[in-house]
Amino acid sequence: MRVIVLLKQVPDIVSDRRLRPDGLLERVPAAAVLSEIDEAALEVALRAADALGGSVTAVTMGPASAEAVVRKALQVGAAQAVHLHDDALAGSDVRGTARALAAAVRLLDAEGAESGDGVGLVVAGMTALDGLGAVVPTLVAAELGWPALAFAESVEVTPGEEASAARVVVVRETEVGRETIAADLPAVVSVEDTVASLRVPSFQTMLAARKAQVRVLAAADLGLAPGEVGLAGARAVVVTAAPRPERPAPVVVTSDGARAIVDFLADRGLLEVGS
């Protein structure tokens, strides 16, 4: 069974991140890293592939510089790397992104199925820069008609036996509580950054990565029409993006701190805003 890990090139969270006037993240190649969350997703994918006796295919979507993140996956033991790279994909909203990623999963599944090596599991990081944490992985699952197990803090994959299908069990934390959920494979899992630490590359995997080719796929290769993805297919568009004005320098207090806080809150009318 194949395991797919979805990776996203992001700027380092401590670097100076900027949005372009069109609201897209300005991707500075020098600052781009595999995020901690995607590292965790990659490790989960590698372990799942071991458990299932399969291999990992790393998939990313983005500009030319995004190739670096799937290269990194090859260095730690992913068998294949796929880069969805096409001007027609640029500016995709979450729906378009999910559509393109799901189409790639379907393509890899169909290719693998011919040799009895269909996709069993898709792993993604829960990118949490805003409320979209679970949206893209869950949308990918919805497109595929597969179950989505989001926000995993632990992931356990068991291979199928004669009488039972391969399964995944996830423990996760939501507002409701600490939940354990399960599903038969194939399924989509999104993980927290604490779920696992990425292994260090071995000499062997580094060597293999150097020889490996990154497969580039365009929208047409995925069977996607122009209106389904990219800016042309985006339902949600950014209208304006501007840095917020710098906060004025803080008022610094070094004595009688409690009284200073309460006076400050009273001044700003903040003593009564709570419930």
Partner 1 sequence: MSSPVLLVASRGGSDDLVHLAADAAGGAELRGVAAFGGTPRALARLLVACARRVGASRIVLESSRRAAEVAAYVAHDLDAGILADVLRVRRDGDVLVGEKRELGGTWDVTCSVAGPVVVLARPAAWDGPVPDVGWLTVEEFEAAEADVRAAAGEGAAIGRDVEPVSIDAHDVEGVALASAAVVVAGGRGLEGDLTPVRALADALGGAVGATRDIVEEEWIGPEAMVGQTGTMIAPRLYVGAGLSGAPHHMLGMRAAETIVAVNLDPEAPIMEVADLAVVGDAAAILTEAAELVRERRGR
Residues 240-259 touching partner 1, rule: CB under 8 A, are 240-244, 247-248, 250-255, 257-259
Q: How far is the CB of 80 from partner 1 (least distance, A)?
A: 26
x/- track of binding to partner 1 for residues 50-89 (CB under 8 A): ----------------------------------------
CB of 79 to partner 1, least distance (A): 27
38 φ/ψ angles, rounded to the nearest 5 degrees: -70, -35
Contacts of 26-34 with CB under 8 Å at 24 or more apart are: 27/62, 27/63, 27/65, 27/66, 29/65, 29/68, 32/65, 32/66, 32/68, 32/69, 34/7, 34/9, 34/69, 34/72, 34/73
Q: Which of residues 151-180 bind partner 1 (CB under 8 A)?
A: 151, 169, 173-180
Determine if 138 is a binding residue for partner 1 (CB under 8 A): yes
Q: Does 105 bind partner 1 (CB under 8 A)?
A: no
Tokens 């994918």, residue?
A: 45
Q: Is the dihedral of CA 258, 260, 263, 266 positive or negative?
A: negative
In whole angstroms, the minimum distance from the beta carbon of 170 to partner 1 comes to 8
Is residue 139 a contact point for partner 1 (CB under 8 A)?
Answer: yes
The verdict on 264 binding partner 1 (CB under 8 A) reads yes
- Chosen residue from 50, 156, 184, 221 binding partner 1 by CB under 8 A: 184
Minimum distance of partner 1 from residue 21's CB (angstroms): 11
Residues 123/134, Cβ–Cβ less than 8 Å: no
Interaction pattern, residues 196-235, with partner 1; x per rule: CB under 8 A: --------------------------------------xx
39-73 burial code (b ≥16 CB/10 A, e <16): bbbbbbbbbbbebbebbbbbbbbbbeebbbbbbbb
